[in-house]
Homo-oligomer: A and B are copies of this chain.
């Protein structure tokens, strides 16, 4: 009757409990959906029994969560729901090596969570006055959208150009060449989303 998982083994119990509580399911509710007993869920979560693959599969299907997700190394991070401002990760490659603060750079793209684990990528973007992404050669096969929060930005998509102000928004197929230019004299902030992720 193992009480806690040995160090070289995965703590199945903890993982299952985390997965379950993240979805705000009770043991009974999850058990009902999975077609197993609540007692079994309890035993597994306490590492009092090591479920068979078929059992774990049925349970995870009810969460729902894939086996691959369940056993992924960065389990908790991958399932995070809330992110503090300072936890948004800068993904503009040009900013990564520099010691100077990203705020001093022409643009900064801060990503919510880790897009590699999701089909939706959300960015907090910041364009300094004069910043210009240039004609975008990188045309990922996605859709992207955004809303201007602060400042103004000139957006070019295909042959159409508009200057957007706070509250304005855009939505287009990423395959169309696109370009962002801050033609104003103050910082522009945008919240954008892209699906599937482009980085």
Using a CB–CB cutoff of 8 Å, the interface residues on chain A facing chain B are: 8-10, 12, 50-57, 61, 66-68, 70-73, 93-94, 96-97, 116, 137-141, 175
| CA distance in complex: A57, B53 (Å) | 11
Q: Can you list 21 A-B contacts with CB-CB less than 8 angstroms, sorted by A residue number?
A: A10-B53, A10-B57, A10-B67, A50-B52, A50-B53, A50-B54, A50-B55, A51-B52, A52-B52, A52-B53, A53-B53, A66-B73, A67-B67, A68-B68, A68-B73, A71-B71, A93-B138, A93-B139, A93-B140, A94-B137, A97-B175
Q: Which residues of B contact A67 (CB under 8 A)?
A: 10, 67, 71
| CA distance in complex: A55, B96 (Å) | 42
The answer on a CB contact under 8 Å between A97 and B141 is yes
A55: nearest chain-B partner, CB-CB: B50
Q: Which residues of B contact A55 (CB under 8 A)?
A: 50
| CA distance in complex: A150, B195 (Å) | 39
**A74 CB to closest chain B CB, in angstroms?**
10
| CA distance in complex: A70, B175 (Å) | 34
The answer on a CB contact under 8 Å between B93 and A137 is yes
Q: Which residues of B contact A73 (CB under 8 A)?
A: 66, 68
Q: Which residues of B contact A57 (CB under 8 A)?
A: 9-10
The answer on a CB contact under 8 Å between B96 and A139 is yes
**A39 CB to closest chain B CB, in angstroms?**
17
| CA distance in complex: A52, B9 (Å) | 13
Please give 11 more A-B residue pairs, beta carbons under 8 A apart, in addition to A67-B67, A94-B139.
Answer: A10-B57, A50-B53, A50-B55, A53-B56, A66-B73, A68-B71, A68-B72, A93-B137, A93-B140, A94-B138, A97-B139
**A106 CB to closest chain B CB, in angstroms?**
11
A66: nearest chain-B partner, CB-CB: B71
**A131 CB to closest chain B CB, in angstroms?**
13
**A140 CB to closest chain B CB, in angstroms?**
7
